[in-house]
Structure 1
């Protein structure tokens, strides 16, 4: 009986040591959830030069889930509204959106461009999608706050 208790005790020690010694893999940040536009930034190529708050009544929301994106925009002076739907993927510092369909204006724009690639600055409850010019300089960004 003493041998059995000793063996059980030794197994518990080994299992505990294994649990403390193993490291969990670093998880990739996630953009999954619902986000509302808060402001826009203008850049001089690298640094923010101006912050533009959204106008009264203007709302833009993006939702990311399982590789899919849906966004919608309401502008008080535009009774038609805007929306788009598609897929997305993120890397450590980029957001790539591929829009499949949307409102009439979006469908016309999709004739020339469907893939949108942004520099991504993602925190727990805030992200900026930063537009770059052809030379890789920052030009502007949309800044979102998590709402879910």
Structure 2
């Protein structure tokens, strides 16, 4: 009887010393952070046909935070600049941006379209937002790197 009682106490001690925790779920990919445009791609349907670098002095930055997006663009030949603000969501392979307001040119464009859906290729420190035509063929992409 003493052996059984000793064994039960030992088992209780070992069980109580064991950390009971469920395994952490795999983190979903995220766009949270600040990203800078690196280049553009042109596609011939599915494959990249050309890489277009940014022009000298051209700068475009996107910031994603808690479901909101803000982007800004500076083009040396256009002193007015460009910007937009809205909301976004991602799925496993899509980025959906809904722009609420922006600069004068953006506000004119928003009269015809406010929601933009892109194919999304997201890695830890880079992402591409790929524009598709009506048949689902890739036409172009903007390629970003994480800066924050």
Deviations 1:81-115 (A, max 9, x none): 00000000000000000000000000000000000
Please give the alpha-carbon distance, in whole angstroms, between the structure 1 residues aligned to 2:63 and 2:16. 48
Aligned to 1:8: 13
Give the aligned partner of residue 106 of structure 2: 106
Displaced runs of 4 or more, over 3 A: 2-5
Root-mean-square deviation (CA), in Å?
A: 1.5
- In the TM superposition, what is the alpha-carbon distance from 1:27 to its structure 2 partner? 1.8
1:77 maps to 2:77:
yes
> Counterparts of 2:79 and 2:107 in 1: how far apart (Å)?
17
SS in 2 for 1:131: strand
Q: Secondary structure at the match of 2:13?
A: helix
Structure 1 residues 9 and 84: alpha-carbon distance in aligned structure 2, compared to 1, 3 A threshold = same
Q: What's the counterpart of residue 45 of structure 2? A: 45
SS in 1 for 2:16: helix
Structure 1 partner of 2:88:
88
Counterpart of 1:118 in structure 2 is: 118
Q: Count residues with an aligned counterpart.
A: 142
Q: Distance in 1 between matches of 2:32 and 2:15?
A: 43
In structure 2, C-alpha distance between the alignment counterparts of 1:46 and 1:24, rounded to whole Å: 36
Q: Which residue of 2 aligns with 1:128?
A: 128
Unaligned runs of 5+ in 1: none
Equivalence for 1:35? 35
Per the normalisation by structure 2, the TM-score is 0.91
Q: C-alpha offsets along residues 32-66 of structure 1, whole Å, 9 cap, x if unaligned?
A: 00000000000000000000000000000000000
SS across alignment from 1:73: strand
Three-state SS of the structure 1 residue aligned to 2:26 is: coil
Ranges in structure 2 where 5+ consecutive residues have no aligned partner: none
